[in-house]
Amino acid sequence: MSTATLPAPALERVARPRHYVMCPPTHFDVRYAINPWMRPGGPVDLDLALRQWGELVAVYERLGHRVDVLTPAADLPDMVFAANGALVLDGRAFGASFAHPERQREAELHRVFLQRAGYADVHIPRHVNEGEGDFLVVGDLVLAGTGFRTDVAAHREAQEFFGRPVITLELADPRFYHLDTAVAVLDDHTIAWYPGAFSPGSQGVVRTLFPDSVEASEADAAVLGLNAVSDGRHVVLPSAAGALSAQLAERGWLPIGVDLSELLKAGGSVKCCTLELRDARRS
Ligand code: ARG
């Protein structure tokens, strides 16, 4: 029988169980402005923020992922954005050093948490870096943002620390001040991104490395639609990013929309709330 007459098999994306660290927005507030999303003094519904965050945790757990909880501190209103506290890869932890004094003390709380979780030597960074806000792991590569927060010197520091190629990308639009607001890692080979967030040279770098990427519209990027978390099959993203969800579904991923409207007032969404712990590579 000729196989030419059979329909093409549907693309089956494969999920890998993940281990996340998250911090409840118990003390969340918008008290200062360190990115263009933040309007201090505006209304924040704390109960709603907590409920929405709890729904995100429930989604991850329903998908079979493990969520560990970092204890929030009363005077750190942005601590819910756990992704900024470290980069954990190959079973090793690279600590953060925040650009703004308002968040600086979060770094130490992450270090202590990670040490207790069994990461004996959490690297104390020499240069400013905001963890997974600006470092994103795609297969063997680490994409690294700079321009607003993370110092390019931290990219070299991370490359030496992990022995992985770290690719510098220059962010050029202040709305997209962290790399994870402009790039979503979909699997070990594929990203979604908003080209307008990057310098022309860095757009060229992304197109060279990921010719098969998903390009998000400005409208979807502007609701932080790219601030998404994928397990390789399911992509958890802000529900307002409707066209991006459709693009992902068309390419075989399963989008799961969540509403984090309160946290968006501080310029964060799904990915910002989610730090991933990655084990040592099995050889
Ligand atoms: N208000 C926080 C800040 O500006 C939001 C951090 C969002 N986190 C992220 N991974 N993009 O630092």
pLDDT in tens, 213-247: 999 999 999 999 999 999 999 999 999 999 999 99
From CA 193, how far away is CA 244, in angstroms rounded? 10
CA 93 to chain CA centroid, Å, is: 16
Q: Is the CB of 178 under 6 A from ligand 1?
A: yes
Ligand 1 centroid – CA 2 distance (Å) = 55
Q: What percent of the chain has pLDDT over 70?
A: 95
Instruction: Detail the DSSP E strand segments found in the chain.
Output: 19-22, 66-69, 86-89, 92-95, 135-138, 141-146, 166-170, 183-185, 191-193, 214-215, 229-230, 234-238, 254-258, 275-276
> Quick check: helix, strand or coil at residue 223?
coil
For the chain, helix (H) and strand (E) counts, in that order, are 7, 14
Domain spanning 17-276, CATH class: alpha beta
- Catalytic annotation on 272? yes
CA distance 270 to 283: 31
Question: How many whole angstroms separate alpha carbon 55 and alpha carbon 193?
Answer: 25
Question: Taking the domains of the chain in order of start, what are their residue ranges?
Answer: 17-276
Q: pLDDT value at position 1?
A: 47
Mutate to test the pocket of ligand 1, among 32, 81, 181 (most ligand atoms within 8 A of CB): 81
For residue 11, the model assigns a pLDDT of 76
> Which of 65, 155, 178, 234 is the catalytic position?
178
Nearest protein Cα to ligand 1, atom 7: 268
Average pLDDT value for the chain: 96
**Confidence (pLDDT) at 202:** 98
Residue 260 beta carbon below 6 angstroms from any ligand 1 atom: no
Query: Which of the residues in the chain have pLDDT under 70?
Result: 1-10, 282-283
Instruction: Centre a 10 Å sphere on the Cβ of residue 241 and count the other Cβ atoms it contains.
Output: 28
Strand partners, 68: 21
Is 178 catalytic? The answer is: yes
pTM: 0.95
266 C-alpha to center of ligand 1: Å? Answer: 7
Query: Ligand 1 in contact with 133 (CB < 6 A)?
Result: yes
Phi, psi of 276 (to 5 degrees): -100, 135
Give the largest CA-CA distance in the chain.
70
DSSP category for residue 148: S
| CA distance readout (Å), 3 to 8, 9, 53, 130 | 10, 11, 48, 51
φ and ψ at residue 101, rounded to 5 degrees: -60, -30
Within 10 angstroms of residue 8's Cβ, the number of other Cβ atoms is 5
The 10s digit of each residue's pLDDT in 176-220 is 999 999 999 999 999 999 999 999 999 999 999 999 999 999 999
Does any ligand 1 atom lie closer than 6 A to the CB of residue 131?
A: no
| pLDDT value at residue 4 | 57
34 lines ligand 1 (CB under 6 A): yes
